Structure 1
Amino acid sequence: MNEKQFDKVKNGKGFIAALDQSGGSTPKALAAYGVNEDAYTNEDEMFTLVHDMRTRIITSPAFNSDHILGAILFEQTMDREIEGMYTADYLAEKKGIAPFLKIDKGLADEENGVQLMKPITDLEDTLKRANERHIFGTKMRSVIKEPNEAGIKAVVDQQFEVGKQIIAAGLVPIIEPEVDINSVDKKACEAMLKTELHKHLDQLDESQNVMLKVTIPTETNLYKELIDHPRVVRVVALSGGYSTDVANEKLKENDGLIASFSRALSQDLNANQSDDEFNNELEKAVKSIYEASI
C-alpha cells in the first residue's frame, strides 16, 4: 500500500471523483456528454469515446489534488493510457490523486428487497492486475431497496467477505451498500444498514481498514459513529441520482461525510464545449462539491 496516498485519503481535504461508468451505463454517460449512439458502431468505439471523455476530465486544470483526493476508474480505463502513461500512474504522478478501481461485475436480481453483487469470478486476477497498475483501492456496489433485515445482512456480509480479500491483496476496499433514494422507507433501510456495518467493522483487526460509500442519509449525521470508527479510513457519499445542487446541500448537513459523486460531477460537461467552457464548468462543479465536502 502507498502510505502517502493512504494519509492523503484519510486526512486530506477534498472528495473522491467517480469516473467508473461501466458497460451498461456508458451509453447513458456518453449521451449526457453530448455523444449519441450513432457516433459509434461497436463496443470498442464506445469505450474509446468514453475514455476520451475521462481523459479530458482528468487532464483538465480543474481536476487537481487541491480539491480531489482520489478517482474511481473502470477496468478499461485502468488499462488505457493518458499522455503515454497508464491512467493510474498519470493520476498519481501528474495529479497527486489516488487511483481506485471498480471491481464488481454488476448487480444480481433483486431478492429480499436488495440486489447483491454478481459473483466476481476473476477477483484474484483483477487484484493482481490492480497492483501491477499501481491502484490504491477498489470499489464495489450493492443496492438496498427495502428495509429487509435478511437482505441487508446478506449485502453487508458479501461486501465484507470480498473486502477482506481485497485488504489481503494490499488494497483499500470501498464498501458500497447503496440505499436507493427512491425507497419507500429509506430511513428504516439506513438504520438497519448502520447496525450491520457497525457489527462488521467491530470484527476487523488493526491491520484491516476499509472505506464506506453510502447514500446521503435521511437522518442527519446518522453515520457519524462509522466516520469516527478506528477501522474506517473515510466515509464517502454517492449522489444517487440527486442533482449537484441537491446532493451538495444534503452533504453539507453531515459532518465528516465527503462526496464521491459521478453524475453530479459531470452533468454540465459536453463534448461540444470549447476547452475554456469545459474547464470552467468542471471547475464550478469541482469547487462546489469540494465546499460541500469540507
Structure 2
Amino acid sequence: MGTLAQQLINGISLGSVYALIAVGYSLVYSILLFSNFAHGGFLVIGGYICYYTLTALGNNIWVAGGLSLLGAGIAAVLTERIAYKPIRERTNITLYLLIASLGMSIVIENIFVIVAGGRFRALPPVIPTNPVHLFGLTTTSAFDLLSLVVAFVFLTALQLFIVKSKWGLAIRAAAFDLKTAGLMGINVNMLISIVFFVAGVLAAVGGIFLSVRYTLYPQLGGITIKAFVAAVVGGLGSLPGAVVGSLILGLAEMLTAGFISSQLRDLVVFSLLVITLLVKPTGLFGKKPTEKV
C-alpha cells in the first residue's frame, strides 16, 4: 500500500510538470491552430539560464528562477516574431507554421550544442530532494511535493489570468475565432505575443524541474514530446484537457515503472496516444478541428 501511494504521488508530481508544458502547447494551438514543436527549446533556454545564473551569482533560486522565466518568455516571443509572424501574414496554411516550428526546434538545440556543449550538467542543489514522510504511511521526495505545489500555483495563476483579466478574455475570444477577434478591435499581434510569452514562462518552470530530475543537456527539450502526447490525449486547444492528460500520463509512467518495468514506461505513454487517436481523435476535452495540421 505504501509503494502504491508513493508511486501515485510521484506520478501526480511528474504529471504536474508535464501539465506546465502541455498547457503551453494548447495555448498556442487554441489561437493559431498549429503545434509549436519549438516549445521544447524554450524549456532548454529556461534550464540553461537558471544553471548559469546559479553558477555565476550563487545559489539564489529566486533570482535564477525569475531570470529563467523572463528569458524563456522573451525567447518565445522573439521566435514567434522572427519565424512565425512573417509566415502567418502571408498565408493561412498552418502546415507552414508547423514546419517552421520543427526548424526552430533544431536551431535552438544546435545553438546550445555549439555554445554550451553537449555534456550533461547538474543544477546546484537549490531544490531539496530529501525524503519526506507523509502521515507515517509513505515516503516521497521533497522535490516531488515542491514541483506539485509550484505547478499548482502557476496553473492556478494562469486560470485566473484567463478568466479574470482583459487579455484573458481576448485570448478566449481569439480561441473561438481569431479573425473575428481582430475585427472587434483586439490587437492580434500583441495577443499572440502574450500567449507565446506565457507559454515560454510555463515551459521554463517545467525546464527547471526537469533539469533537476534528469540533469540538463541541449536535447532535454525532446521530453516535451510526452507533454505534447498529454495535450493530444486531453484535447489540443483545451487547457483543462492538457492538465488532465498530463496527470494521466504521469500516473501511467510511474505506475508502469513501479509495478511492471521502467523499460515499458515509454511504450505505455505512446500506446495511450495511439489508442486516443483511434478511439477519440479530438481527445478527452478537445473540439473537432477545422483544419488538419
TM-score with structure 2 length normalisation? 0.30
Larger Rg: 2
TM-score with structure 1 length normalisation? 0.30
- Tell which has more relative contact order, 1 or 2 (C-alpha 8 A, sep 6+): 2
Q: Which has the higher helix share?
A: 2
Q: Which has the higher strand share?
A: 1
